[in-house]
Amino acid sequence: MCGIVGYNGYDQAAPILLDGLEKLEYRGYDSSGLAVRNGKNEIEIVKAKGRLRILSEKTDGGNALAGSCGIGHTRWATHGEPSENNAHPHISDDKNVTGVHNGIIENYQELKEKLLRHNYRFYSDTDTEVAIKLIDYYMKKYSEGPVDSIARAMTRIRGSYALVVMFRDYPDEIFCARKDSPLIIGTKEGETFAASDVPAILKYTRTVYYIGNQQIARLGKGTAEFFDIDREPVEIEPKEVKWDAEAAEKGGFEHFMIKEIHEQPKAVRDTINSIVKGNSIEFGETGISDEIIQGIGRIIIVACGSAYHVGMAAQYVFEDLAKIPVRVELASEFRYRDPLLLKDDLVIVISQSGETADSLAALRLAKEEGIRTLGIINVVGSSIAREAEHVFYTLAGPEIAVATTKAYSAQLAAVYALAIQFAKVRGTIDQQKYEELLAELGTLPGKMEKILEDKERIQWFAAKYSNAKDMFFIGRGIDYAISMEGSLKMKEISYVHSEAYAAGELKHGTISLVENGTLVVGVCTQNRLFEKTRSNMVEVKSRGAYLMGLTSYGNYSIEDTADFTVYIPKTDQHFTTSLAIIPLQLLGYYLSVARGLNVDKPRNLAKSVTVE
């Protein structure tokens, strides 16, 4: 989950590296470092513990480091505590090899013992230092150059990695390798870039190469060559990034998160417009044909975090509209319980980054079993996008805040469209209902905008209860799925202990936690479940809870129970998640702001979980 950048060109490298690291700080922020080759052909390394600004101050914004070739890293610790010693870049004993790494090397202790027997010494507690010194070992043993030494190291390393390496005796080149961890290469005339994610280099180039799994890259000044693990040259076609560079900037908002909350209507509109043409859905490049839909017996949705909550909402929508059985699985559990997969299953993997380690592993397991796979992904060319049999790209654009908002909403739009098409093809809805659902789907962005116009009420409420220590979200059916995501937003950015419960389960233990002043959010968007959930709200209120109600316009009787009520526009019951989640995102955001926390980079979390 660390962030990597590399630059080889003719401009001063350090300011460019720092700029790229700033765009990647959501991936790691407990330490950072730079390595730049100076005019004496020496590699100068500067590291700092803590936020990136400390490294920037230490190097005068990069101006203190001369040289036009370098690498940088921002760390999220996995091996070894946050410290300057453990910060990247790491070097071999004689400074022959310098490198940065994202991932986890599972057999690092075994490799470390091997290197100790060959008189290597270690100064850090990291697995990365082991990888760098292993490359150096093969460089010295076989004397066949960087590509060969990296390839030999790759055959010995077990785990995941994106490596960017400089060699003392190859002054005009940077070398990269990856397995399961994200890494992209960008080029323009006279300059080459490496990075963990597109926003780091979008300011400089739109031409990118997605280096494949177990491949190596040699980066000159404006050139990129690629090799497989057998050292054979491979061809990779460049891609043009369509994102607007300004989309990765705050654009006048105080934080990326609030900016991205406001970008949700566009993300949903763009995702819908990519597949809805007139009165029909055309999946086109996804390859999901009507014949394939007819032959699917069961859907298994695999995801982590907020994407898992998309799956929970999708389960209700698919089963109700298309009458097809759906299981929703946590990717981190899926492959460890030896799942029973059937030949007519469809495994849908949902991931914003397309690099989520557990989700990628689940996808590969499904493929090994011969099961059809579909990825719902936001990043073109990511690992899951490349490996899934079918890909549905959401069009959320770059999402920088660690807590997802617009990617989540775009994923919801994608599963709605899939469920509607499944229902039509399988004959569980008629043409009239199909067109009605598509028309209503098209109204969601406008209704989302209307909710955002009333955000000041949520801001007032969040400020009033910014000292809350415990919070509970309750709901039934789709409202329970909404509650799960609302609760996650609250805990991940405001650090309030927050839990979501199926409202009907309150009497089975949860209600014992409610006491005077406990904040409870009751989500009531499903008409047939409205009265049942409201009765549960009455139960917690009688135990002293302070109640926030969230429902659709027209359900004004909730004000007889709730102390504070938020209304969303009416929509089809299957789509209420897209509207109801916005007030809960705003609640988490404004409560975090009121508590003076770092909204975009919450403690201990990283944007893309690329290690287990």
Single out the residue of 490, 445, 502 nearest to residue 583, CA to CA: 490
Query: What phi and psi, each to the nearest 5 degrees, are found at residue 138?
Result: -75, -30
CA gyration radius for the chain?
Answer: 25
Burial class (CB in 10 A: 0-12, 13-18, 19+), 555: middle
Cα distance between residue 105 and residue 131, in whole Å: 8
| Location of structure tokens 């695999």 | 302
CA quadruple 132, 136, 142, 143: dihedral positive or negative? Answer: positive
Orientation of helix 576-594 relative to helix 431-452, angle to 10°: 20
* Amino acid occupying residue 35: A
Cα distance between residue 194 and residue 101, in whole Å: 12
Do residues 163 and 176 lie in contact, with contact meaning Cβ atoms separated by under 8 Å? Answer: yes
Token pair belonging to 281: 């859905």
In a 3-state reduction of DSSP, which class is residue 171?
coil
* Residues 6+ positions from 505 with CB-CB distance below 8 Å: none
* Residues 6+ positions from 283 with CB-CB distance below 8 Å: 275, 289, 392, 421
Cα distance between residue 65 and residue 60, in whole Å: 9
Cα distance between residue 192 and residue 187, in whole Å: 4
> Is 179 part of the annotated catalytic residue set?
no
Do residues 547 and 520 lie in contact, with contact meaning Cβ atoms separated by under 8 Å? Answer: yes
* Amino acid occupying residue 335: R
286: which DSSP letter? G
* Amino acid occupying residue 26: Y
| Location of structure tokens 């005009």 | 172
Query: What phi and psi, each to the nearest 5 degrees, are found at residue 73?
Result: -155, 140
- Choosing from 2, 69, 176, 304, the catalytic residue is 2
3-state secondary structure 465-501: CCCCCEEEEEECCHHHHHHHHHHHHHHHHHCCEEEEE
- Choosing from 133, 447, 601, 607, the catalytic residue is 607
Query: What phi and psi, each to the nearest 5 degrees, are found at residue 336?
Result: -85, -10
Cα distance between residue 261 and residue 329, in whole Å: 27
Strands (E), 364-440: 372-377, 390-393
Cα distance between residue 472 and residue 483, in whole Å: 9
Q: What is the largest CA-CA distance in the chain?
A: 80
Single out the residue of 44, 45, 52, 105 nearest to residue 74, CA to CA: 52
Cα distance between residue 142 and residue 3, in whole Å: 31
- Element of type H or E holding 145: none
Residue 299, strand partner residues? 326, 346
> Is 2 part of the annotated catalytic residue set?
yes
| Location of structure tokens 């009765």 | 535
Active-site amino acid positions? 2, 607
